[in-house]
Chains A and B, each alone.
Chain A
Amino acid sequence: MDFLFVQFLNGLASASSLFLVASGLSIIFGVTRIVNFAHGAFYMLGAYIAYTLTQHLTGVVGFWTALLLAALIVAALGALIEMTLLRRIYDAPELFQLLATFGLTLMVEDLVVMIWGPMELLGPRAPGLEGAVPVFGQLFPAYDFVLIALGPVVLGGLWLLFKKTRWGVLVRAATQDRTMVSALGVNQSWLFTSVFALGIFLAALGGAVQIPREAVHHMMDLQIIVEVFVVVVIGGLGNVFGAFLAAVIISELNAFGILLFPKISLVLVFLVMAVVLVVRPHGLLGKAESDSRPAIGTAIEPFRRFGTRGRNAMVAVLLGLALVPLFAGNYLMSVGTELLIFALFAASLHLMMGVGGMVSFGHAAYFGLGAYGAGLLVKYLGAPMEAALVAGPVLAVAGAILFGWFCVRLSGVYLAMLTLAFAQIVWSIMFQWYDVTGGDNGILGIWPSRWASDPMVFYYVTLALCAACIYAIRRIVFSPFGYAVRGCRDSVMRAESIGIDRQRIQWLAFTLAGTFAGIAGTLYAYLKGSVFPDVVGIPTSVDGLVMVLLGGLQTVGGPIVGAAAYKALSIWMTSQIDFWKLVLGALIVVLVIAFPEGIAGFWQRRVSPLFRRSETEEEAIP
């Protein structure tokens, strides 16, 4: 009993830091409508800078000054980034904002390694609070009592700030309608910058206060951001009280979950999140979003089927791809195979996102499940390639059916955050469940059958499968079902009013997208001969997003172009550049700001009218 109480206190202490970060994210989202993926990176920076400052500032005053100063420095940096970068993308679709802030995260990760090195750093103990206090005969760190108090104090401070000051009233007004606030004479830019700085201050403070408890390392950012996403999804985005409540719930679940079910502590969080979402889709204290932004992929220009010329062009491309082995060596051929696989992956993501309007930040889950499906079949059943190619994706289908059921209950950023959370859950299962998945060591020895072991033959197998799948996706887009999916994206109200069961249609689309991603994943496992948890990682999901974005959302063919261009570039880059995350991150940021319509969007405007069925051809039918 005593032990349990101490464990409860432990949970509360962890909750404070999580709350600080989550409330910062919530406040920023409330006003700017940006889900700041880089929030974890700022948290991490807060910890690193606090670490450095505490090396110089000592004593009680020095220590606390260092923590505050660290948070202030990071907040200033945040304000700078808001003024130079984020201001340009406030009106962009949420996906672009998520991507741009993810690009920032990548850059910070490499910068941190460049400055502080890749090793874990141990911060000092808080002066005067090094000891432990006996609680019911158990020892509890004195510092953690400070943390326990910090959460409610910050919550109270925020409440006063928002209720009692003019600034707070303006912020709450802007949360609802920022245009209107500026139409009443308020300088929106400064309001946004100050809000962003406050949010970042909270994140950095959350990181800084952690240094006496936890080692500082360069992967803290992704770890916290996933937890924060879970917290805001449960608590309700934009609601500070919700963030507090959910932070406590999650931290307590973690504290007790590890005791009760050491192996599946994550699953417990997942279950709670699932229950909350079913009962209250917008979180415990959240409200339905009145975001007027159109769903992602919404376009004025309707999708058009190919005309004769377009079909001929496609046949020519296919023939060209079939001729590649005649002049390419083994290395190029395996690169080509990889490009084909990612073209399918990107096309599957586009089906969900461009056509279905459901932004997925965790599409790697289904790619990875497809890969692991094949890996597990080989490992445990010794299945041959032919069987694994058919049965491997089944795991992805199952995952998509399960996760999709929850996801289609949400929309917009909530959906994006939830997909990310699900992907991270899959990742942790692959990473943690060592007995079954081999954990970090992955599964090896997934080789094609003898007849297909030649790179050329495997290239042709991949080409045939990917071409067939992409053709199938295209057919689906123009089928009644594809129209229904698009209808649900364009206008939920209209779709439901003409008898379309939105959730079912979207669930089916989600599942189909997961299935095609799973097929790509299975092929990928055979190409590499092995599977590691990386295939489910956030970078894989983001790769897919960048491909689709690069190719342009508003075209059916765009993602394929984007996949080829991006994958070729990244294969080259990872082999040539040391700090490739920094370069890639910068590239993503530039891409989002400079080319919001993508390569294929440009193509569609300039070139593709030549390939369409002409207007007369189309209208002559009735």
Chain B
Amino acid sequence: MKLEVHGLNAWYGRAHILFDVHMRVARGEVVALLGRNGAGKSTTFASLVGLVPARRGDIVFDGHAVGAMKTHDVVRLGLGYVPEDRRIFTDLTVEENLEVGRQPPREGAPTWTPEMIYELFPNLASMRRRAGGHMSGGEQQMLTIARTLMGNPSLVLLDEPSEGLAPKIVEQMAHALIEMKRQGLTIIISEQNLHFARLISDRAYIIERGRVQFEGTLKELDANPEVRDAYLAV
């Protein structure tokens, strides 16, 4: 197993957000984390990399217990995190943004160079020296992913990458993700857009009110319209 999570609980102040969340992700899998806004998807990701004020539970990543580790230590083990709302460094150029993400090569994970990144996201290649603040939303979203890839992660958490993007850009994004998967990356992606999730993922978890309500393949989810309608209904 690439990642195993058991009994994960998380709190923001006095508010208890996650309740015994569990998850198992195999090497090379693409797993979708579905659920509505506020269901706990982002908190789950933030908890995995230690970005919540308080958490409890077992998180085993590549055989390391990371449940009590500091964020940067977890990330240095190869767990890449792409937060929602594209937090790129707007004052830094594209190149500098990538530099911030750069980590040494890692065994068992693809090694990325800026050149490979530019190949994956051709839009970025033409704007290496442009400040992040002068890029469109879609370009910024690609840059956040690219920046995380520079850390040579073996697993990437992608928090709502399609949110607020034009459908056409989302399609480009899907192609890039498929390519990342082909390189052997394990990916967990949180989504509200079921169409998008379906394009790229093998399996899905549904989170609702901080609890895992469903796990299975997307085929199983499609075969379970009542589950789909209860938590995701279109």
Q: Give me the interface of A with B, judged by CB distance under 8 Å.
A: 166, 169-170, 172-173, 175-177, 179-188
Q: Could you list 9 A-B pairs, sorted by A, with CB under 8 Å?
A: A173-B97, A175-B91, A176-B89, A180-B89, A181-B100, A182-B75, A183-B49, A185-B76, A186-B72
Q: Smallest CB-CB separation from B81: which chain A residue?
A: A183
Contacts of B75 in A (CB 8 A): 182-185
B92 touches A184 (CB 8 A): no
Residues of B within 8 A of A175 (CB): 91
The answer to whether B49 and A173 touch across the interface, beta carbons within 8 angstroms, is: no
Q: Which residues of B contact A184 (CB under 8 A)?
A: 75, 100-101, 147-148, 151
Given A184-B148, A185-B103 in contact, is the A176-B71 Cβ separation under 8 Å? no
- B89 in complex: contacting residue of A166, A177, A185, A188, CB < 8 Å: A177
Instruction: Tell me whether A169 and B87 are in contact (CB under 8 A).
Output: no
Bound Cα distance from A169 to B99, whole angstroms: 8
Q: Using Cβ atoms and an 8 Å threshold, which residues of chain B touch A186?
A: 72, 100
Residue of B whose beta carbon sits closest to that of A287: B91
Q: Select one of B51, B72, B90 contacting A187, CB under 8 A.
A: B72
Assess the A183–B83 pair: CB atoms within 8 A: yes
> Once the chains bind, are A173 and B71 in contact (CB under 8 Å)?
no
Provide the residues of chain B in CB contact with A182, threshold 8 Å.
70-72, 75
Which of A170, A182, A185, A186 is the most central at the interface, judged by chain B CB atoms within 10 Å of its CB? A185
B29 within 8 A of A: no
Contact with A along B49-93 (1 / 0, CB 8 A): 101000000000000000000111001100001010001011110
Instruction: Please indicate the chain B residues that have their CB under 8 angstroms from the CB of A183 in the complex.
Output: 49, 51, 71-72, 75, 81, 83
Tell me the smallest distance from the CB of A31 to a CB of chain B, in Å: 13
Using CB atoms, name the residue of chain B closest to A176.
Answer: B89
Assess whether B20 is interfacial by the CB under 8 Å rule: no
A182 to B51, CA, bound (A): 9
Tell whether B96 is near chain A: CB-to-CB under 8 Å: yes
Q: How far is the CB of A396 from chain B (nearest CB, A)?
A: 39
Q: A185 CA to B71 CA in the complex, in Å?
A: 7
Extra contacts besides A173-B89, A179-B51 (6): CB < 8 Å? A172-B89, A172-B92, A172-B96, A183-B75, A184-B148, A185-B103
- Interface membership of chain B positions 3-45, coded 1 if the CB is closer than 8 angstroms to chain A and 0 otherwise: 0000000000000000000000000000000000000000000
Q: Given A169-B96, A183-B81, A187-B72, is A177 in contact with B101 using a C-beta cutoff of 8 Å? A: no
Kindly name the residue among A166, A175, A184 whose own CB sees the greatest number of chain B CB atoms within 10 A.
A184
Task: Give Cα A179 to B81, complex, Å.
Answer: 12
Measured CB to CB, the closest approach of chain A to B224, in angstroms, equals: 34
Q: How far is the CB of A174 from chain B (nearest CB, A)?
A: 9
Interface residues of B in 80-138 (CB under 8 A from A): 81, 83, 87, 89-92, 96-97, 99-101, 103
The residue that A169 contacts in the complex, of B70, B100, B148, with Cβ under 8 A, is: B100
Q: A183-B49, A184-B151, A186-B100 are known contacts. Are A173 and B72 too (CB-CB below 8 A)?
A: no
The 3 closest A-B pairs by CB, nearest first: A185-B75, A173-B100, A180-B87
Q: A173-B100, A176-B89, A180-B89 are in contact. Are A185 and B51 (CB under 8 A)?
A: no
What A residues does B72 contact at CB under 8 A?
Answer: 182-183, 185-188
Given known A183-B75, A185-B103, contact A169–B51 (CB-CB < 8 A): no
Given A172-B91, A173-B89, A180–B83 Cβ distance below 8 Å? yes
- What's the Cα separation between A172 and B92 when bound, in Å? 8
- B91: A residues at CB distance < 8 A: 172, 175-176
User: What CA separation (Å) do A182 and B49 show in the bound complex?
Assistant: 10
B102's closest neighbor in chain A, by CB? A166
Q: Please tell me which one of the listed residues A166, A180, A187 contacts residue B99 in the complex, with CB atoms under 8 A apart.
A: A166
Cβ 8 A contact of A176, one of B49, B90, B101, B151 = B90
- In the complex, the chain B residue whose C-beta lies closest to that of A191 is B72
Contacting A185 at CB < 8 Å: which of B90, B97, B99, B151? B151
- Which among B72, B81, B97, B147 has the highest number of chain A CB atoms within 10 Å? B72
CA distance A186 to B101 in the complex (A): 8
Looking at B75, B83, B100, B148, the one whose CB has the most chain A CB atoms below 10 A away is B100
Contact check, A170 vs B71: say whether CB atoms are below 8 A apart.
no
Specify which chain A residues have a CB less than 8 angstroms from the CB of B90 in the assembled complex: 176
What is the bound-complex CA distance between A170 and B91, given in angstroms?
A: 12
Chain A residues with Cβ under 8 A from B103's Cβ? 185
Residues of B within 8 A of A170 (CB): 100
Q: How many angstroms between the C-alpha atoms of A199 and B147 in the bound complex? A: 29
Shortest Cβ distance from A188 into B: residue: B72
Nearest residue (CB) in B for A175 is: B91
A177 to B90 CA separation, bound complex (whole angstroms): 10
Q: How far is the CA of A187 from the CA of B70 in the complex (A)?
A: 9
Least CB separation from A180: chain B residue: B87
Q: Which residues of A contact B92 (CB under 8 A)?
A: 169, 172-173, 176
B78 closest partner in A (C-beta): A185
* Residues of chain A lying within 8 A (CB to CB) of residue B97: 173
Task: Give CA–CA (A531, B58) in the complex, Å.
Answer: 65
Closest chain A residue to B96, Cβ basis: A169
A182 to B83, CA, bound (A): 12
Q: How far is the CB of B98 from chain A (nearest CB, A)?
A: 10
Q: How far is the CB of A366 from chain B (nearest CB, A)?
A: 35
How near does chain B come to A444, taking the closest CB pair, in angstroms? 53
Q: What B residues does A179 contact at CB under 8 A?
A: 51, 87
Docked Cα-Cα span, A166 to B102, in Å, equals 10
A175 to B151, CA, bound (A): 20
Closest A residue by C-beta to B87: A180
Q: Nearest Cβ in chain B — how far from A602, in angstroms?
A: 15
Distance, CA A188 to CA B75, complexed state (A): 12
Q: A597 to chain B: closest CB distance in Å?
A: 12
List of A residues within 8 angstroms of B148 by Cβ: 184
B83 to chain A, nearest CB (A): 7
Complex CA distance for A170 and B76, rounded to whole angstroms: 16
CA gap between A183 and B100 in the complex, in Å = 10
Give min CB distance, B52 to chain A, whole Å.
11
Q: Cβ of A185: which chain B residues have Cβ within 8 Å of it?
A: 72, 75-76, 101, 103, 151
Specify the chain B residue showing the minimal Cβ separation from A91. Answer: B53
Query: Contacts of B76 on A, CB cut-off 8 Å?
Result: 185
Chain A residue at smallest Cβ distance from B15: A300
Q: How far is the CA of A185 from the CA of B78 in the complex (A)?
A: 9
Interchain nearest-CB distance for A167 vs B (Å): 11
